[in-house]
Chains A and B, each alone.
Chain A
Amino acid sequence: MSDKPEIDSRNDLLKDEDTLVRQSQENPGAFGPLFDFYAPLVYRYVLHRIGDVSDAEDVTSRIFTDALQSLIRYRPKRHGSFGGWLFTIARRRCADHFRVSNPLPLYDSDLKDNVAGPLDRVISRDEHGRLKEILNSLNDNDQELLRLRFTAELTYQQVGDVIGKSEGATKMRVGRLLKRMKKIWEENDGKY
């Protein structure tokens, strides 16, 4: 299995991202396509971090308001990819949110909708429970890395821009992290 999220094809849609950003800097009304692409990603990331739909909607709105207001100051050479820059704002906004409210437990996703029958549900809960323990044993930075990669579905380049690392270093770090988690998983045969 490839370790890339299924976003390569969608990335084709953003081949002209730089052009879209420049156009939006000159005319904020042209921000629409960027919003359409990134809003679901940002929302999913925020929801995963915050855990409450209403709060996630509120924070997502603020992130895009901030982004649009600051877009004129965005410079690819200084800030890296647009996606990375946007998620830097998203992380900051989520952090602001947690300063005034108590965060919900991480990785407490509701899995009931994703499985077929009662037996599948039990198995899924079993596997996710084990995974949850592994994830909870990671430090905050590693948890955030996984969120950016798998929930937000950012590319390695974009994740690197968010965490201040090169694409290669980010790829290596994610690879090492997955390897470490897989080892723990495999040692337990992936189950209880």
Chain B
Amino acid sequence: MGNTKNISDQFESLLRSYHKSKEPDPAYLARIRTDLLTAASKKETKRSGFFNKWNPTNWRYAVAAALLLIIVAVSVIGPSQVWAQFESWIAYLPGLGRVELSGTRALEEPAIHSEGGISFQVEQFIASPDETYISIHITGLASSLIPSSDSSYFPGLPSTLIASSVSSIYIQWDDPDGQRKGVAMRMAQGFPTFPPCPSEGCPNDIQPDGYDLLLVYDPLGPDVNQVQVQWLTYGMVPGAYPTDTWTLDISLTQISDENAQDLLQPGYSPLSAEDSQHGITITVDNVFSSESWTIIDASIAMLKSVGQPNFLRLSLSTDTGDLLEPIRIPNDLYLNSISWQNIEFETPGAPTLMVWPILWQSSPIEAQANQMTLSIESIDLYHGVAFVFDVETGQDPEVGTTIPLDISFDVDGFPLHIYEARIVLIPEINQSGTNNVMAIEFALDRVLSADGRNLRAVWFSQYGHTFMDPIIDRQPELSIGRLVLDPDMIRDGKIRVSVSWVVLEQEGPWVISWDIPQEKD
């Protein structure tokens, strides 16, 4: 127990030391302090008379300004129009106005702005008392910027692309006090949309036809009337360098609670949609669909000792045909929530059950589809390993040297055997170009499968340096893992190497089928 506490303290102090960053140069701080405060005082001295004392936080001046505004408005605009405006202001006061603050409002009709071949459409805008939810669809982005099908290995890429194209999306409104207000929306989801697959099946190289953005925010003012997008990337919009701003007027209308629920929760939860194999249970929790995409919100539960899951070989289909191979999308909709759950058994010391949430996106389903099936051929399981061994390289190793090894260990019962290390030259790319550097690589036995599991990769490391890319091929003689060999690493003619991660592919399949609820008439 004492040892555990020791490790815990050691870990925390290590974490703190790791996050220590260098202190700023005092001269730099003094300089920007002076610049800032000088600029601030200059700004102050520019004010004069009434405005010298003006401060919006001082209520006396706010009242004076409001009275002045009313007098000017009444005299210029006319009493009847001013009264009409006043009526619209008090409309938002609970008990007095026509609109209850507790109500939910939604877009009367989609708003669209098209320019330079790019179309930006606000498809839905829901302002509820709890949150603001906006759905935006963008088409016509440069095809060179759209990720290839390899993006399934880089699930963050669609979001990254949008983030690098769109500087900000602002929501703006006029408060009842006449003040123009706006907030920058938090980007929650950005993912590609695909055209429906042709009847003969989805081609592998199918390209997205646009992007959907889902944005969420805190409740906003009662009179949201504009959505503004700032483009960032040169080339996205012709002539839009460095930025271009499009402003779309929108109009919201009160909707019933029932309709609001439908709009806020467009998905459904299938019943008993789960499958268990090899102690791993996959459950489809929710399914969301639109005219341009289908999203599967699933979770995988398994013992912690089994590793961390990663899905690479899966398919989605309906009774009317196959859908596009699902790609994993980041779970950013729950931007500030924990993206995993750790459920511990009640018995102390018992194994820990991990539940991993996951989102997949695929192409839209056909309206006549009645049943959907998610099929997962296999799962890659990442095992954190802390296995250490020494390699006698000699103090001055030469390229071409082969060092026999007999290193055996197992990962969750899967046996591994390293029989050889080799000193090789490999190209290393750095800022100044490509250099050939000395490295050490390892060879494993050809027996790479056992009990429905296959070895896919091994990550080695040494003193914190992760080895270069693991080779995930199943070659007859497998060389896995390389590390640039720095003479500093050799002590007494040896280097100490550790196995950090082992990736095992667990064969399934997991097949989950469920009924698709039909639209109400």
With A133-B500, A192-B388 already in contact, the answer to whether A32 and B16 are too (CB < 8 A) is no
Residues of B within 8 A of A114 (CB): 17, 20
With A31-B37, A182-B11 already in contact, the answer to whether A192 and B465 are too (CB < 8 A) is no
Interface of A is mostly: helix
Asked whether, in the complex, the Cβ of A68 is within 8 Å of the Cβ of B40, the reply is: yes
Residues of A within 8 A of B16 (CB): 5, 150
Partner among A53, A146, A186 whose Cβ is within 8 Å of the Cβ of B8: A186
Asked whether, in the complex, the Cβ of B464 is within 8 Å of the Cβ of A130, the reply is: yes
A-B contact count (CB 8 A): 166
Residues of A within 8 A of B36 (CB): 31, 35, 64-65, 68
With A133-B466, A185-B7 already in contact, the answer to whether A26 and B55 are too (CB < 8 A) is yes
- Mask, A150-192, CB within 8 Å of B = 1, is 1100000000000111000000010010101110111111111
CB distance from B374 to the nearest CB of A (A): 23
By the criterion of a CB under 8 Å from any partner CB, how many residues of chain B are at the interface? Answer: 60
Asked whether, in the complex, the Cβ of A139 is within 8 Å of the Cβ of B19, the reply is: no
Q: Does A97 contact B (CB under 8 A)?
A: no
Cα–Cα, bound, A136→B105 (Å):
42
Which of B26-34, B273-281, B409-417 interfaces with chain A? B26-34
Q: Nearest residue in B to A127 (C-beta to C-beta)?
A: B14
- How many interface residues does chain A have, given as a range? 35 or more
With A130-B464, A165-B336 already in contact, the answer to whether A3 and B57 are too (CB < 8 A) is no
Asked whether, in the complex, the Cβ of B464 is within 8 Å of the Cβ of A128, the reply is: yes
Within 8 A of B (CB), among A1-53: 1, 3, 5, 22, 25-29, 31-32, 35-36, 39-40, 43-45, 47-48, 53
Asked whether, in the complex, the Cβ of A186 is within 8 Å of the Cβ of B4, the reply is: yes
Q: Does B447 contact A (CB under 8 A)?
A: no
Q: Does B10 contact A (CB under 8 A)?
A: yes
Asked whether, in the complex, the Cβ of A141 is within 8 Å of the Cβ of B336, the reply is: yes
Q: Nearest residue in A to B165 (C-beta to C-beta)?
A: A99
CB distance from A9 to the nearest CB of B (A): 16
Partner among A5, A109, A126, A187 whose Cβ is within 8 Å of the Cβ of B463: A126
Q: Does B113 contact A (CB under 8 A)?
A: no
Cα–Cα, bound, A132→B13 (Å):
14
Q: Nearest residue in A to B496 (C-beta to C-beta)?
A: A192
Closest 3 CB pairs of A and B: A129-B464, A28-B40, A188-B386
A-B contact pairs, 18 of them (CB 8 A): A25-B55, A29-B44, A31-B40, A44-B22, A68-B39, A122-B463, A125-B463, A128-B464, A129-B463, A131-B15, A133-B461, A141-B335, A150-B18, A163-B336, A176-B342, A186-B7, A188-B384, A190-B7
